[in-house]
Amino acid sequence: MAGSELATDASSAPDTVKILIAGGFGVGKTTMVGSVSEIAPLRTEEPLTMAGLGVDDLDGIEEKRATTVALDFGRITISRELVLYLFGTPGQQRFWFMWNDLALGALGAVVLVDVRRPRASFAAIDFFERRGIPFVVGVNGFHGEHPYPAEEIKEALAVPEHVRVLLCDARDRESCRDVLIALIDQLIASAVQA
């Protein structure tokens, strides 16, 4: 179909980049998005068949529409020319096929870990590690409490040395901002090294 070259670019529109907020089900991803976003987190609902298989085959879509996967996201305007989007990845493992699409073109990811059940985020760490997508780990405390030091958790998670592990509170704006900054610092550090 013609059209893809018709009218790309709009000089007044800002550049956009994205960071993923990942982790197991219920670790506080949407909370974190909401804490730093300048807008209340937005949600899109995708019919699952569409999200998984593309839109080419819609046979029986009416029957399958009941299953949707929600995607929560927020926005941070960096400047007039640059806007950062934060996407909370769907936590349930059965929705992980979506992560590939989401990860495409992302600067990197924050893997949130619930301090009470770190296992819930093991698979998320695997996902980014295997694909070589840069990430930091944010350890979300329970009511902001942190019984273990970051170093101990880092050891337990067995993440590579260069991956930063930070204690955080997903409800706290500055805490979440610092996790994002740590990710960017890590990206800058590995860019300088390369």
Q: What is the residue whose two structure tokens read 């994002």?
A: 180
Please tell me the distance from the alpha carbon of residue 74 to that of residue 40, in angstroms, as a whole number: 7
Q: Give Cα separations from 84 to 19, 36, 75, 124, 125 (angstroms).
A: 7, 11, 6, 22, 22
Minimum CB separation of residue 38 from other proteins in Å reads 9
Show the tokens assigned to 1.
Answer: 């179909």
83 in contact with other proteins (CB under 8 A): yes
Nearer to other proteins, 46 or 148 (CB): 46
The region of 73-81, 89-97, 115-123, 156-164 touching other proteins under the rule CB under 8 A is 73-81
CA angle in degrees (0–180, nearest 5) for 26-143-71: 25
Residue list 29-58, contact with other proteins (CB under 8 A): 36, 42-47, 50-51, 55-58
Please tell me the distance from the alpha carbon of residue 146 to that of residue 131, in angstroms, as a whole number: 30
Binding residues for other proteins, rule CB under 8 A, total 66
Show the tokens assigned to 117.
Answer: 């059940």
Please tell me the distance from the alpha carbon of residue 137 to that of residue 151, in angstroms, as a whole number: 12
172 in contact with other proteins (CB under 8 A): no
Nearer to other proteins, 65 or 116 (CB): 65
Nearer to other proteins, 104 or 158 (CB): 104
Amino acid type, 126 = D
Please tell me the distance from the alpha carbon of residue 49 to that of residue 17, in angstroms, as a whole number: 27
10 in contact with other proteins (CB under 8 A): yes
* Pairing status of strand 42-47 against strand 68-79: antiparallel
155 in contact with other proteins (CB under 8 A): no
Among 66, 105, 143, 158, which residue interacts with other proteins (rule: CB under 8 A)? 105
Positions touching other proteins (CB under 8 A) are 1-4, 6-10, 12-18, 36, 42-47, 50-51, 55-58, 61-62, 65, 68, 71, 73, 75-79, 82-85, 87, 102, 104-107, 132-134, 173-174, 177, 180-181, 184-185, 187-188, 190-192, 194
